[in-house]
Amino acid sequence: MKTGIELKVALDDLYARYIAALDAADYVSWLDLFVEDCIYRVVPRENHDRGLPLATMAAESRGMLRDRVFGITTTLYHQPYYQRHIISGLFIREAGADAVRTQANYAVFRTKQNELSEVFNVGRYLDCIVEEGGALRFREKICVFDSELIPNSLIYPI
């Protein structure tokens, strides 16, 4: 695992590519940022803080994420919208020999067809990142969002 400034640069790059892929709806690149045996969850803060398991979106492998992408792009009936991610305050919560645990704030803006851009979902990422084949990838990504309202309209990954 990288360390020090080399790690910091690689982490910044990983998050930059994560949001660039998502906001371009480039799901092939997005999936490639996860290891096969990964966990991905989008959870309201209330539930996270109380240790409740309910998640708005959940996957326990890259295969399940691929299914979700298939749903989004092929079968799921929904009104399309653009996403735009902003990430800030990335820091390392715990650095191990094989993995680092990171945290960062995020804000996602949504733009529906013929509408103005609006705040969609804000919260924090609680992630676990490993090195695989020379590149950093997510082994775990928990998106804890602040609004207690569960947005039914949350279609795309956060």
The residue from 74, 75, 79, 88 that contacts a second copy (CB under 8 A) is 88
- Of positions 115, 133, 134, 152, contacts a second copy by CB under 8 A: 115
122 lines the binding site for a second copy (CB under 8 A) = yes
Does 109 bind a second copy (CB under 8 A)? Our answer is yes
Q: Considering the rule CB under 8 A, would residue 52 count as an interface residue with a second copy? A: no
Q: What is the largest CA-CA distance in the chain?
A: 49
Q: Nearest 5°: phi and psi at 64?
A: -70, -35
103 is a site residue for a second copy (CB under 8 A):
yes
Task: Extract the tokens encoding 65.
Answer: 């994420």
Which conformational region is residue 12 in: left (phi greater than 0), alpha (psi within -120 to 50 degrees), or beta? Answer: alpha
- Closer by beta carbon to a second copy, 41 or else 121: 121
Using the minimum distance from each CB to a second copy, give the nearer residue, 60 or 94. Answer: 94
Among residues 41, 48, 68, 124, the one that binds a second copy under rule CB under 8 A: 124
**Binders of a second copy among 130-149, rule CB under 8 A?**
145-149
| Residue 72 · residue 101 · CB < 8 Å | no
Contact between 28 and a second copy by CB under 8 A: the answer reads no
Contact 10, 2 (CB under 8 A): yes
Beta bridge partners of 125: 104, 143
**In 3-state terms, what secondary structure has residue 61?**
coil
Comparing CB distances to a second copy, the nearer of 66 and 84 is 84
Using rule CB under 8 A, residue 45 touches a second copy: yes
Q: Which two tokens stand for residue 53?
A: 């398991």
